[in-house]
Structure formats: C-alpha cells, structure tokens
Chains A and B, each alone.
Chain A
C-alpha cells in the first residue's frame, strides 16, 4: 500500500466534494440546521397532565383528590371558557357536568356529562379520560372504588426525568447524516467514472486496492466527521462515548458500502438520486421507531441500519454498557463488511 498516494487521493476527493456547491451546501447547511433544531427544542419533558372543569361544578373534595393524583386543574368560568382553554392547548381535556349532577347520580338518573378534547388527542388518551370521569363519578356520590393498586416500575423509574424529544431525535439525526452521506460519496465516484478520470488515475502507479482504500477513507471520514460534530456539539458524547464513537464509525462504514453500490448503479447525479432516495428511505425507517416507539415491528431488524440506530439510542438515551451493545456492534460490523464487499465488487465491474 502506498499511503502517500492514498493520502493524495483523499485530499483531492475532499477538496472536490466541497467544490460541488450542491453537496457543500447540503453538507454544511444540513449539519448546522440539525444542530440549531436540536438546541432550540425543549431540553425537558412537561409531565404535567392538565384537565379543566367548570369552576362551580367541581366539589372541593374531588378537586383535592385530583391534585393528589398529580393532575393540574384548570377552573373555567363557563363551558365556553373551558372550550377556549382546550383550543389554546392549556388543557388536554375538559369536563362539563350538568346542573344537579350529583343528585342525578345518586338517584340513578343517568346524567349527561360533556367531555371536550383537542382534535389531535389519541383515542387511547380519550378512553383514559372517560375512565377518569367514571371514577370521579363514584367519588362524587361517595362510593370510591375499593381497589388497592400496587404500582411497580420495571427498570429505571423515569418519572421526572423523561427523555426529551430532542434527545430521542438525536440518534435519528445522526443516522440521517450518516446515511445521506452515501449520496455525496456515490456522486463523487460516479462523477469520476463518467468523466473517465479514474482511467487517468489507474494509469499512474496507483493500484485499484489503493484507489478503493482512498475512497473508503474519504467516505468514512466525511460521514463520521459530520455525525461526530453533531453529537459532540449536542452533548451526545456525555453518555457512553466509546460505544457512540464505535457505532458512528461503523455507521460511516455502512454509508460507504451503500455509497459504492449506488455509484455502481447510477450513471449521473439523477440516477444516483433515484436509487439513493429509495435506499435512504429504507435505511432511515428504523430511526423512526425511536421517535414513535411501537410503530414498527420486528421485521425492522432486517434493515441493516436498525443495529446502528438501536445502539445509538440505547447508548445515548439509556447509557447501556459496552457488553450490552457488543452484539449489535458485531452484527453491524458484519453487515458493513458485506455491503463494502458488494459495493467494491460492483464498482470494480463497472470500472472494468
């Protein structure tokens, strides 16, 4: 291996990458945008549950009971005021009892209670509020449900220390940055094939293995560099930095392998974008599972980037030790090597 030639090649590639205004802008601009978005998002989670009642309808003992249940109560002057509070997102549900509600309950008259919800409240939450209403009704007629509930939290109790949305998003953004880098690398390579500059390179003493080593270093360096800057600035290295750095390097290796494959399929930037967007959509799917837990199922483990996303999320947000991340990292390394081999093989065929 002639490392001087490889270094020359890497330096040339990085220089050319940033001379392409589109990729230079999207690389730097996107990184800055991601960091700014992270920094302006709330750094904590508002765990307070606010519900509203029309003030003169709620007996004192009930309001005291609700406060004990960690609910914050909004007392509206009227039903209109209650509705406005919901529309202004001050409360997540509003209850309006009819006149003589308690008496009607006591005499089994089946009173009509109005419950108001904002339009975006999930059905599950609506159901819980209705259950709450029913329990309140028992309280109001002096017949509390005699059930002793024993609460047990499995794992660390995160009450008061919920993971803010921006921190949930961070692994996803890091994966976005890594995966999007495939386009830049693929374009760089495809451009060389199209302009036939690779022929000129390969007529020098530079060998094919040195060429691919150089391209791999460029790809890994560019992808890892950006992702590293992101996590370093956003405090992502405060928790398990070793695992996160290893995961980012392996993610960059995955991006490089995919970039090689893309370069072998597309003839120009448009061709690369066509295949690239498809690849990116698939690869970022597992990252969505972090933002919306429960929305994806086990089949997502078939997507190579799952092992990257999962590792980053668990290390960054839950601080898992290295031994728990080792399996994921080993699988990711194996996938990386397969993609790199596939990419190099496909590219060699194209160059030949």
Chain B
C-alpha cells in the first residue's frame, strides 16, 4: 500500500478558549490535489500551520511523507513548499534576490531564478525591488518561492485571493503543472469555483471540524439537486423564469406540459455548485 503524502490524525489546536481545529482526520494521497474549503476563521490556516511544523498540535499527530511533523520538522520542511496567505517577501530586495536567498537556505545549488520568474510571468522584472510590484505579482513570486526546492508537497494558503484573473490563472496553471510533476497539493481557499476546477477532492471545514470530504463530483451527486432553468414568454410578452428539478417525481410530466403549453424561450441545465452544497451542509455561507 502506498503511504499517503499527508496524514492528519485527530489534529487539534485551540487559541486560548477558541477552538481553531478540533480533532480532524484526513489523508491526502501522493499526487493528489486536496482543497480545504471554508469561511475565514474556519481553521484552514491553523491546519496548514500544524501540517507544516509552524504550530505544534495540542492533540493528535500530523505525518508528512511518512515523517512525524513535530519530531522531524527539519526533514519535513526540506521537502515541502509553503505559499503563505499573507505576503511575506523581502520588499526591499529584488525578486531574484528573494528567490536566491531561499534557494540558499534550502540548499538548492543549481537554482535558476530567471527561469523561475519566467515560469510565473515575471521575467524582465526580476531585478526590480519587490516593493514596486502589484499584489498579483507579489503573489506569483510567493508561489515561485514555494517551488524553489521542488517540493513533494505544496501548501498553498489562499493563493489566488483578491488577484486579477490573469494572475489567478497563472497560479492555477502552476498548481496543475506541479500535480503533473508528481507533487501533492494542499490548497486552502474559499473560492469554490477554483476548488471545483482544480481539486481531486475537497474538504469542507467549518468551525474547526471537517463537515464533508469527497470528490467534487460525488459531493454534487450526494448533496446537489439537478435542475433545468427555463424562461418562457408570459401573457404580456415578458419573460417568466421557471425551475424544474430533475430528481423529483413528476419531472417528465412537467417537461411535457412545459413544451406543449408554453412558448419556451431559453432552457439551461443547472448543476449544484460547491457553494450550494457547503451552505446545505453547514447551514451558512463562505463569506463569514
């Protein structure tokens, strides 16, 4: 049996009286992309910190690549890459200097900073101080920094939050390239569309607990309602919207009735989104 890349076993962390992460269990296979979805304060970042050795779990155990994160922090950290939620680059240094600094600390001898910058679309700006960069450029540089040591596991904490579409797409492409290289990706986000596009599996975390964990397809199958959204011409010529649920009894009759008695203007199939499912499972949205 192949050892999972990540094993979280009863991981728990409280900030004084606030439960941040409460006895969570999950495994991530090698080469898998797992998205951790939840609103702000759900426990996503605390989980990442425990998995990456920045915080010691108060209960439970995290195992990465077969190594105990607490006992073998140094070895674990040599084989992971972390892209933080908050921009923490050396702003008074150039992008190349930032990357070379971390390459030295990781002991990567043949690191090519120019090539790394080209990969994230920052070629030509490598010698500029980071303080002159836009938020999107900084975020892409953070991703490049997390890839310096060709990590076996890549942790990305809200990597596309607040970014322009081009920067966000660049980062998504890199995530897919890294998976193709064989890296395991642990992604935290509250962008459900992004998670749906990228992830092999998603975990919903709410108030420090995992509320659901499965593939996006299975979650939609299990919790989502398939529907057809129709617009018909009303008596006064105005458009009237109707919704017909496919999985309910009498759907066939409703459809026949629609086409025989109404003038159908538009017709779309409608699939439940991960956000719909999150709300259904947790009873609240992602905004808070």
What is A's interface to B at a CB cutoff of 8 Å?
4-5, 8-9, 12, 15-16, 19-20, 195-197, 199-207
CB neighbours (8 Å) of A197 from chain B are 88-90
Chain B, residues 118-152, CB within 8 Å of chain A (1/0): the string is 00000000000000000000000000010000000
Question: Smallest CB–CB gap between A10 and chain B, Å?
Answer: 12
Can you list 9 A-B contacts with CB-CB less than 8 angstroms, sorted by A residue number?
A4-B107, A15-B93, A19-B93, A200-B82, A202-B54, A203-B77, A203-B80, A203-B82, A205-B105
CB neighbours (8 Å) of B52 from chain A are 203
How many B residues have CB within 8 A of the partner chain?
23
CB neighbours (8 Å) of A207 from chain B are 74
CA distance A8 to B102 in the complex (A): 9
Apart from the given pairs A196-B88, A206-B105, 9 other A-B contacts in the complex at a CB distance below 8 Å: A8-B105, A12-B101, A16-B90, A20-B92, A195-B88, A197-B89, A197-B90, A200-B82, A203-B54
Cβ of B217 under 8 Å from chain A: no
CB neighbours (8 Å) of A9 from chain B are 105
CA distance A19 to B106 in the complex (A): 24
CA distance A326 to B106 in the complex (A): 43
Cβ of B84 under 8 Å from chain A: yes
In contact, A196 and B105 (Cβ under 8 angstroms): no
What is B's interface to A at a CB cutoff of 8 Å?
52-54, 74, 77-78, 80, 82, 84, 86, 88-93, 101-102, 104-107, 145
The 8 closest A-B pairs by CB, nearest first: A196-B88, A204-B105, A8-B104, A19-B92, A205-B78, A203-B82, A200-B88, A197-B88
In contact, B105 and A16 (Cβ under 8 angstroms): no
In contact, A196 and B92 (Cβ under 8 angstroms): no
**Contact among B78, B86, B104, B145 for A4, CB-based, below 8 A:** B104
Name the residue on A nearest B142 (C-beta): A200
In contact, B84 and A200 (Cβ under 8 angstroms): yes
CB neighbours (8 Å) of B145 from chain A are 200
CB neighbours (8 Å) of B93 from chain A are 12, 15-16, 19
CA distance A204 to B92 in the complex (A): 20
CA distance A205 to B107 in the complex (A): 9
CB neighbours (8 Å) of A19 from chain B are 92-93
CA distance A19 to B131 in the complex (A): 13
In contact, A195 and B91 (Cβ under 8 angstroms): yes
Question: Smallest CB–CB gap between A187 and chain B, Å?
Answer: 12
CB neighbours (8 Å) of B90 from chain A are 12, 16, 195, 197
CA distance A15 to B92 in the complex (A): 10
In contact, A200 and B92 (Cβ under 8 angstroms): no
In contact, A5 and B105 (Cβ under 8 angstroms): yes
CB neighbours (8 Å) of A195 from chain B are 88, 90-91
CB neighbours (8 Å) of B107 from chain A are 4, 205
CB neighbours (8 Å) of A203 from chain B are 52-54, 77, 80, 82
Question: A196-B84, A207-B74 in contact; A201/B105 too (CB < 8 A)?
Answer: yes
Counting chain B CB atoms within 10 Å of each CB, which of A4, A202, A203 scores highest?
A203
CA distance A211 to B251 in the complex (A): 67
CA distance A199 to B90 in the complex (A): 12
Question: A5-B105, A200-B145 in contact; A205/B77 too (CB < 8 A)?
Answer: yes
CA distance A114 to B77 in the complex (A): 86
Question: A8-B101, A204-B106 in contact; A199/B92 too (CB < 8 A)?
Answer: no
CA distance A106 to B78 in the complex (A): 101
CA distance A200 to B82 in the complex (A): 8
CA distance A204 to B146 in the complex (A): 10
Question: Smallest CB–CB gap between B87 and chain A, Å?
Answer: 8
In contact, B104 and A199 (Cβ under 8 angstroms): no
In contact, A205 and B92 (Cβ under 8 angstroms): no
CA distance A202 to B86 in the complex (A): 15
